[in-house]
Amino acid sequence: MLHRIPVGLNRVTPSPAGRLLSLAIAMLISLTSHLAWAGDLKKADIEHRFGPPYQVQEKLSEIPAWPLTSSLEQEAGPVAYAFESIDLAPLPGFEGTPMNFLISIDHKGNFINVELLRQREPVFTFRDLGGLGDTLLREFIAQYAGRNIHQPFLIALDAARNRTGLAGNSGVATLDGISKATTSVRIVNQTVLAAASEVARAKLGFADRKKRGPSARVRPDVYDPVSFADMLDNGMVGRLRLTNAEVEKVFAGTEGANLDEYGAAHPDDVFVDLYIAYLNAPTIGRAILGDAQYQATMERNFDKRHLWWIASAGRYPIIADDFIPGTPSPRLAMTQNGTFLELRDQDVEAKNLTGPANLNTSRLFGVNAEASLDPARAVELVLTINRAKGSILPTLIPKQVTLSYVPPASLFAYPPEPPPEWLLAWKDRWLDLTVLGLSLILLCVVLARPRWIAMDSRRLRLFRVGFLAYTLFYIGWYAQGQLSIVQITGAIKTLKAGLGLSSYLYDPISLILIAFTLISFVFWGRGTFCGWLCPFGALQEFVGRLARRVRIPRWRIPLAVARRLEGGRYLVLAILLGAALLLPTQGETLNEVEPFKTAITLGFERSWPFIAYAAALLVAGAFYYKFFCRFLCPLGAAMSLGGRLRRFDWLSRRAECGQPCQRCKAVCAYDAIEPSGEIRYEGCFQCLDCVGVYHDEQRCVPIMLYRNKGKRLAAEHKG
Ligand code: SF4
Ligand code: SF4
C-alpha cells in the first residue's frame, strides 16, 4: 500500500535551532554598539602635504576641515580647504568599513587633490586585481583633480561610453571606472562628493547639491528676433538707472555724503545707466551682437564660459581710466546666492552692438563655465561707486549698488535631476538584472513544481548542468554576483559602527540574490542558494562531475565522521563573526578562508598562494564531493542556519522511505537523506534526484513492488 504525502506543502513547526537562530540574531543586533569613525591626520600631516605658498590654519570647530590660506594672497582668506572624508561622509565600503580620503578643494569648489588614506575593500587588498593592489584605486581618485563639485559625475568603464545619456554633455565629469570593482568605485565616488559638498556648503556658500539640482542650460533651439526695447521690457536686458540724487542718497550719512557738487547742482541728471544681457542665449546674443559676430564669439568661446554684455551710460563708467582689457574691472563684481563669481573682461573688440547710442562703455564679460553658476537664476551685478574726500591723499569712500538680473526662463532648460549614485548602478546593470530576474523566476517555477523536470533524469541533468553553468559563468564570472561571507561580516561591522546598510544598494546583483535567498529560506531552505546560485558551489559540482567521468577514486568518510566534520563550517563561521565584531582587521584576513574572491571575483588572477589554496579545495572536491561546502564553507553554514526559517517540508516522502527503502538515500550525493528516509534539509543541495526517483515508476522501489504485487495478484486471480 502506498502512503502518499498529501499534495501541497507540510508546515514545519519552529525548531529549537530556529529559535536559537532568532535569538542569536537579536543578540548580534543588541551587541552592536555605536562606534564613531574619526579621521587619521593632524595639522602637521596637512602641513607636510601642503607646502608654501599654502599655510595650514587650525582645524575648524564647526566642520572638520583645515582652511588653507596663501602667502601670495594674504588678504584673501582661505583659498582652499583640506578634510578627511571619514569625518564627513563615513560611507561603509563593500567590506563594511568606511574608506578614508584626504580631499582638498579650492574656494571655487574645484578639487585640488584626493589622496587615499585608508581602505579595506577586499578587491584592493592582498595585491589583487592582477597584483596591482590599490594602484587602480589611486589612479581612479587621481581623476578628481581639476573637476568641480557642481559637475554631474559619471563613472564608465570606457569613459567614451555613454549609457546614461550624460556623458555627451560638456559639463559632465566622466571618470574611468575599474572593472571587477564597480561597487567599491561607486562608493568611493559617493564618499568623495558627499564629503566635498558638506565643506562647500558650510564654507563656500554653495547651495546643497541635492537641494539645488543641476544648473540650467541654454536652449540652443530657442531664437526669436527681438528689438532692444523689447528686451528691456521682457527682462532679457537688465537695467539699473540712477540719478545723481539717488546716488547721493546711497552715500547719505557716510563720509562720502555731499561730496558731489555737480550732482547736487543737477540732481535729475543720470549718474549711471547700467545694462546687462546674457549673451549665451541665442535670442539675446544675436540681438545684441548681430548674427555674424554672435557666431564668431561663440566659436571662440570653446570653453563654454558664461558671457554677458555689460554697458554703461551717464557720468560713471563701469571701468576706470586705467582699466586693462582682459582683466576684471575693480568697479564690477558678480554674485549668485551669495557666492562670488569671478567676472572678467573678455578683451573682445565687439563692434556695432545693439543698444543705446550714448554708452560710455560697452564690453563683454565672462565667468568660467566651471563656476557654480546657474544662468537661469538671478545674478547680482554689483557696481562699486567711489567718492574721494580730500584733495591731498584723498580718502576713498566706496558704496555698492546692485542690479539683479534674471533672463526669461523660456530661454533655458533644466536637465533632469542626476539620479543618485546607487540608482545609476541599477540603471547601468538593467540588462544583467533582467537576465537574473528571469532566471530566478525560472528557478522558482522549477522548485515549486519539480515533478516534471525531475521525472526524466536526462531532462533533469540537462537543466541542472545548464543552470549551474549559467550560475558559474554569468552570475559568477561575468556579473560578479558571488555572495560571500564578507557581506555578512561587513554588515556586522557597519551596524556596529552605527552606519546604515545603504551601501548594499550599490551592488544590485548581490542585493537581488540576497533578497531572493532570504525569501527562499522560508519556502525551500538553504539549498536554493547553495544548490543553484552559488558560483563556487557550481564550480565544485563541475569538478566533481569531471572527476566521476575520469574515474578519480572517491574518498570514503564514514557517515558519522562526516556529520561531525560538517560542524567545522559552523566553527569557521563563529570565528569569522567573532572576528568581525572584535578584531575587524584580522577578520579581513580570516575571510580569505573563502576561495570565492580568488576563484570567482578575480577569476584566478591573483598571487599564487591564493590560487594554490583555491585549487587545493577544488582538488579535494574531486575526491570528496563538495568538500569545501560540506566541511569548511562559513557562508554555507550561515545558509544552513538561515534555512531553519523553512516553513514547509517540500520534498515528498513515503512511509516506506527509509523503512525499508534506501533508494533515495543511495542516490543522494550529498548525504542529505537519513537512514530513516527523512530529508536533512540543512545538508540538501536541491539536486532533485530524489524527486525524480519518487515519481519514477522504474526507480521508486515501493511503486515497483506495488506494481509487481498488483500484477501477481491479477495473475493469481486469473488462474
Ligand atoms: S556551501 Fe558555500 S561554497 Fe558551497 S554552495 Fe554553499 S555557499 Fe557555495
Ligand atoms: S537527492 Fe539529496 S540533495 Fe538532492 S534533493 Fe534529494 S535530499 Fe536534496
Confidence of residue 654 (pLDDT cuts 50, 70, 90): confident
Looking at the structure, tell me whether residues 598 and 510 fall in a common domain: yes
Q: Is the CB of 690 under 6 A from ligand 2?
A: yes
Average pLDDT over residues 546-565: 89
Give the side-chain half-sphere CA count within 13 A for 326. 0
- Model confidence at 409: pLDDT above 90: yes
With contact defined as beta carbons under 8 Å apart, do 631 and 569 qualify?
Answer: yes
Domain-embedded: residue 679:
no
Q: Ligand 1 pocket, 628 CB below 6 A?
A: yes
Pocket flag, ligand 2, residue 673 (CB < 6 Å): yes
Q: Are residues 405 and 506 in the same domain?
A: no
Examine the domain organization and report whether 478 and 409 are in the same domain: no
Is residue 483 situated within a structural domain?
yes
Identify the band that residue 411 occupies on the pLDDT scale cut at 50, 70 and 90.
very high
Q: Could you tell me if 413 and 217 are in contact, meaning their C-beta atoms sit under 8 angstroms apart? A: yes
Is residue 325 located within the same domain as residue 298? yes
In a shared domain, residues 375 and 258: yes
What confidence tens digit (pLDDT) does each residue in 579-595 have?
A: 888 887 777 788 889 99
Per the document, the length of the chain is: 719
pLDDT at 128: 52
Q: How close is the Cα of 489 to the center of ligand 1, in Å?
A: 16
Does one domain contain both 154 and 128? yes
Contact by Cβ (8 Å): 153, 135: no
Backbone angles phi, psi at 37, to 5 degrees: -90, 140
CB neighbours of residue 58 within 10 Å: 8
Shared domain check, 283 and 190: no
Cell of 449: 513544481
User: Which residue lies with its CA nearest to atom 2 of ligand 1?
Assistant: 636
Question: How much distance in Å is there from the Cα of 533 to the middle of ligand 1?
Answer: 9
CA of 122 from ligand 1 middle (Å) equals 19
Distance of CA 379 to the CA centre of its chain: 33
Ligand 2 lined by 447 (C-beta under 6 Å): no
Nearest one of 43, 3, 401 to 238, comparing CA atoms: 401
* CA dist., res. 719 & res. 716, Å (int): 5
Name the β-bridge partners of 98: 92
Q: What are phi and psi of 336, to 5 degrees?
A: -145, 125
pLDDT band (50, 70, 90) for residue 502: confident
Burial (CB < 10 A; 0-12, 13-18, 19+), residue 351, is exposed
Q: Work out the percent of the chain whose per-residue pLDDT is above 70.
A: 87
CA angle 83–87–93, rounded 5-degree value? 110
The answer on 610 and 553 residing in a single domain is yes
Local structure of residue 667 (DSSP, 8 states): H
Task: State the pLDDT at residue 366.
Answer: 93
**Is 212 a residue whose pLDDT tops 50?**
yes
Q: Residue 479: helix, strand or coil by DSSP?
A: coil
Closest CA to 362 of 386, 379, 376, 345: 345
Q: Which one of the ligands is nearest to 689 CA?
A: 2
Q: Whose CA is nearest to atom 4 of ligand 2?
A: 687
Q: What is the pLDDT of residues 229-281, one digit of tens each?
A: 999 999 999 999 999 999 999 999 998 999 999 999 999 999 999 999 999 99
C-alpha cell of 126?
A: 592582498
Residue closest by Cα to atom 8 of ligand 2: 684
Output the residue whose Cα is nearest ligand 1's atom 7.
Answer: 636
Mean pLDDT for 304-315 is: 94
Q: Residue 679 C-alpha to ligand 2 middle, in angstroms?
A: 8
The ligand with the least distance to the CA atom of 482 is 1
Q: What is the mean pLDDT of the chain?
A: 85
Ligand 1 contact, 537 CB (< 6 A) = yes
Q: Which atom of ligand 1 is nearest to the CA of 636?
A: 1
Quickly list H helices, 450-558.
Answer: 451-455, 457-470, 485-496, 508-523, 527-528, 535-549
Please indicate whether residue 670, judged by its CB atom, sits closer than 6 Å to ligand 2.
yes
Question: Is residue 672 lining ligand 2, measured as CB closer than 6 Å?
Answer: yes
Give the whole-angstrom CA distance, residue 515 versus residue 188: 24
Q: Which three cell numbers stand for residue 280?
A: 549665451
Residue where a domain terminates, one of 413, 442, 462: 413
Is 82 within a domain? yes
* CA nearest neighbour of 486 among 635, 607, 629: 635
- Ligand 1 touching residue 593 (CB < 6 A): no
Residue 333 lies in a domain: yes
pLDDT (mean) for 148-155: 78
Of the residues 191, 212, 233, the one at which a domain ends:
212
Residue 504 DSSP one-character state = G
Backbone dihedral angles phi then psi of residue 52, each to the nearest 5 degrees: -55, 145
Domain that holds residue 61: 35-212
Task: Identify the pLDDT of residue 164.
Answer: 39
Which ligand is closest to the CA of 669, given by its number? 2
Q: How confident is the model at residue 716 (pLDDT cuts 50, 70, 90)?
A: very low
Whether 3 is covered by a domain: the verdict is no
Residue among 388, 490, 496, 500 nearest 91 (CA): 500
Q: Specify whether 325 is located in the same domain as 470.
A: no
Strand bridging mode 173-176 / 153-156: parallel
Between the CA of 272 and the centroid of ligand 1 the distance, in Å, is 80
- Reported pTM: 0.66
Residue 699 inside a domain? The answer is no
Tell whether ligand 1 has an atom less than 6 A from the beta carbon of residue 573.
Answer: no
Give CA–CA dist 655/677, Å, rounded.
9
Sheet holding 395-405, edge to edge: 339-341, 332-336, 379-389, 395-405
606 phi and psi, to 5 degrees? Answer: -155, 170
Instruction: Report residue 198 CA to chain centroid gap.
Output: 17
What is the residue whose three cell numbers read 561591522? 493
**Secondary structure (3-state) at 118:** strand
- 353 grid coordinates: 552692438
- Indicate whether 29 belongs to any domain: no
pLDDT value at position 711?
Answer: 56
CB 188 within 8 A of CB 137: yes
Q: Which residue has the higher pLDDT, 10 or 178?
A: 178
Same domain, 292 and 433: no
Nearest Cα to Cα of residue 491 among 93, 22, 35, 121: 93
Return the higher-pLDDT residue of 74 and 201. Answer: 201
685 lines ligand 1 (CB under 6 A): no
pLDDT higher than 70, residue 90: yes
Query: Is residue 572 a contact partner of residue 635, using CB atoms and an 8 Å limit?
Result: no
Q: Do the domain assignments include residue 716?
A: no
Comparing 163 with 42, which gets the higher pLDDT? 42
308 to 133, 321, 387: CA distances (angstroms): 49, 21, 27
The phi, psi pair for 72, rounded to 5°, reads -80, -20
Determine the average pLDDT of the residues in 63-76: 83
Tell me the per-residue pLDDT of 346-383, one tens digit each, with 9 for 90 and over.
998 888 888 898 999 999 999 877 666 889 999 999 99
Of 654, 689, 710, the residue that ends a domain is 654
Whether 408 and 473 map to the same domain: the answer is no
Residue 636 Cβ < 6 Å to ligand 1: yes
Contact 406, 378 (CB under 8 A): yes
Going by C-beta distance under 8 Å and a sequence separation of 6 or more, which residues neighbour residue 679? Answer: 649, 651, 653, 672, 673, 690
Q: 179 vs 552, which has greater pLDDT?
A: 552
One domain for residues 406 and 449: no
Work out the pLDDT band at 35, boundaries 50, 70, 90.
very low
Q: What are phi and psi of 268, to 5 degrees?
A: -90, 0
Contact 691, 451 (CB under 8 A): yes
The stretch 198-223 carries a mean pLDDT of: 75
Whether the Cβ atoms of residue 180 and residue 242 lie closer than 8 Å to each other: no
**If DSSP codes are grouped into helix, strand and coil, which group holds residue 312?**
strand
Q: How many domains does the chain have?
A: 3
- In ligand 1, the atom with minimum distance to the C-alpha of 635 is 7
Percentage of residues of the chain with pLDDT beyond 90: 51
Ligand nearest to the CA of 633: 1
Tell me the ligand closest to 484's alpha carbon. Answer: 1
Is the Cβ atom of 536 under 6 angstroms away from ligand 1? yes
Find the mean pLDDT for residues 692-701. Answer: 88
Report pLDDT for 20: 46
